[in-house]
Amino acid sequence: MCNLYSITTNQAAITALFRVVSQKVGNLAPMPGVFPDYKAPIIRNGVGGRELVTARWGMPSSAKALLDNAQKRADKLRAKGKTVDFNEVLRMEPDGGTTNIRNVKSKHWTRWLGSENRCVVPFNSFSEFNKAEGGDIWFALEETRPLACFAGIWTTWTSVRKVKEGETTNDLYAFLTTEPNAEVGAIHPKAMPVILTTPAEVETWLSASQEQALKLQRPLPDGALRIVARGVKKDGEMPAV
């Protein structure tokens, strides 16, 4: 599961590569470490064309996951002798979101697979964790970490992300995963992000039919990625000695 990536390419280069016509982000600072629930840039279809916005990383979790978590929390409260309004417990159940999406046939995800809810998530490198190999292992297309993007989806959602925030409305996003190629599989054998590397793939993901777009849910060819860093939480940091 990819729960850490970087986006350090400057805003002008992101805008040019993805043919953005509208920006709603202010000044984007480099992000050598993007973690779950962080706000980060995405490119999505807007009324007048592609727009660059920021959204929080983590799409809404399934109703079943929230119900199960709320039930556990309610049981703990009852064990302490407290009166529980379960509907209120469920409404206020914090949901940090789902960062990676594999099963696109799930009814929970199919509602967001139309072109109006597809987006691309720009990145320079991403990490998969493997303790035996040194912790966070960072991958990129090349040592220079050229700009690429993940195939993502987004939505606007009202929920409790964190208890201290209460109920808020946010733009949220996540990206698709697939079986890993050789490089990622040696570190994380379960999955890798769905990565788009050409303008044609970006166009297909953002604009084509759902059937055509989902053909891009495939690993990169073996040899397409390089390990560029090990053992750091932000790409570019020096490993701890």
Q: What is the pLDDT of residues 152-195, one digit of tens each?
A: 999 999 999 998 998 899 999 999 999 999 999 999 999 999 99
Contacts of residue 80, Cβ cutoff 8 Å, sequence gap at least 6: none
Q: Which two tokens stand for residue 114?
A: 């139309």
Tokens of 156: 């606007």
Residue 241 has pLDDT above 60, yes or no: no
Share of the chain above pLDDT 70, in %: 98
% of the chain exceeding 90 in pLDDT: 77
Domain with CATH 3.90.1680.10 in the chain: 5-60+99-230
Helices (H) and strands (E) in the chain, counts: 7, 14
Residue type, 20: V
In the predicted structure, residue 5 carries a pLDDT above the cut 80? yes
Residue 239's pLDDT band, with cuts at 50, 70 and 90, is: low
Q: In the prediction, which pLDDT does 238 show?
A: 64
Q: What is the pLDDT of residues 194-209, one digit of tens each?
A: 999 999 999 999 999 9
Binned at pLDDT 50, 70 and 90, residue 87 comes out as: confident
Q: Which fold has domain 5-60+99-230?
A: hypothetical protein yedk fold (3.90.1680)
Which pLDDT score, from 0 to 100, does residue 132 have? 93
Q: Return the structure tokens found at 37.
A: 């629930």
What is the Cα Rg of the chain in Å?
A: 19
Nearest residue to 6 (alpha-carbon basis) of 235, 239, 237, 238: 235
- Residue 218: pLDDT above 80? yes
Question: 58: exposed, middle or buried (C-beta count within 10 Å: 0-12, 13-18, 19+)?
Answer: buried
